[in-house]
Structure 1
């Protein structure tokens, strides 16, 4: 049986978000604004009476989940498959620095074409498959009355949800990036035995999207 609702929740702001630095799987903490965002969003999500709480093991997502854990008493279940895209040796570069060092790669990313991040990181398609597999595994761990919250990262969440919903790759750019501490709500359809989007980028619009997901 599948859970009744999946909430996929992006972490709060970090200093690297503010500086337009590519984070990938670098373990960057929330800044003071990010902590405040997580607390405010957690109060809203607690009103949904979540029954299970998952998180990426990177500290910016784990600290975001921690704010909801404090309010609900739920234990945090960590899953490395919920990490952000691996950017390898691009971590710490700004988007401008990446464009100066590797203009061809930056141009392919901007055009929505497949491009491996860093020397030995992941492609968007690879992180989408990894994240979708995690959602598939998590969504069957519960009952129809359950609401499961997943604290994670912007790019991984966007493309992973699209893959999970079987949305063809060329249509992924139609789904905007997630702002810090905003979320996507997914509901199962009893008629089609598939999932659908209830809300996208919910929580605190209009907030700017500062992430490894360079949609413009």
Structure 2
């Protein structure tokens, strides 16, 4: 097992520790822009693309070290995983929210495709449950 700082959750600045109701009340314009899918530094924190910039390289480096037919397991937070999936699948950042939230203790599976990575499973392991952030 290896720990990597790049796999930490998105830094949300002044939004850290607040509920969605508190964020909506204190930062209504910023929260509305985030809800519309605009690139927002939530609470002055990181953009989703910046999260992908720090999270994808250690995953690819670990993948390169795998033996043939090896399996890489990456454990992180749902938002970080969503940015990694979007980047690895070559999607535009405006489309990354299409994955929705990742339920606790669930996983996604990527595999090789004809032109890069393919999404084989998403939010697997449990029945979909409401995820923080899906109430927007």
Normalising to structure 1: TM-score of the pair?
Answer: 0.59
* Conservation of the 8 A alpha-carbon contact between 1:84 and 1:152: yes
* Conservation of the 8 A alpha-carbon contact between 1:90 and 1:117: yes
Ranges of 4+ aligned residues in structure 1 off by more than 3 Å: none
Give the 3 Å change call, closer, same or farther, for CA 139–146 of structure 1 in structure 2. Answer: same
Would you say 1:196 and 2:121 are equivalent positions?
Answer: no
Give the 3 Å change call, closer, same or farther, for CA 215–112 of structure 1 in structure 2. Answer: farther
SS at match of 2:43: coil
Pairwise CA RMSD? 1.5
* Conservation of the 8 A alpha-carbon contact between 1:130 and 1:160: no
Which residues of 2 match residues 169-208 of structure 1 at below 5 A?
A: 169-189=93-113, 191-192=114-115, 194-208=116-130
Give the structure, 1 or 2, with the largest relative contact order (CA under 8 Å, sep 6 or more). 1
* Conservation of the 8 A alpha-carbon contact between 1:184 and 1:200: yes
Q: What is the alpha-carbon distance in structure 2 between the residues aligned to residue 154 and residue 204 of structure 1?
A: 15
Flag the structure with larger Rg.
1
* Conservation of the 8 A alpha-carbon contact between 1:136 and 1:164: no
Would you say 1:109 and 2:34 are equivalent positions?
Answer: yes
Which residues of 2 match residues 130-169 of structure 1 at below 5 A?
A: 130-169=54-93
SS at match of 2:72: strand
SS at match of 2:73: strand
Q: What is the alpha-carbon distance in structure 2 between the residues aligned to residue 176 and residue 92 of structure 1?
A: 21
Q: What is the alpha-carbon distance in structure 2 between the residues aligned to residue 79 and residue 104 of structure 1?
A: 34
Q: How many residues align?
A: 135
* Counterpart in the other structure of 2:13: 88
Q: CA deviation at 1:199?
A: 0.3
Normalising to structure 2: TM-score of the pair?
Answer: 0.90
* Counterpart in the other structure of 2:2: 77
Q: What 5-or-longer segments of structure 1 have no aligned partner?
A: 1-75
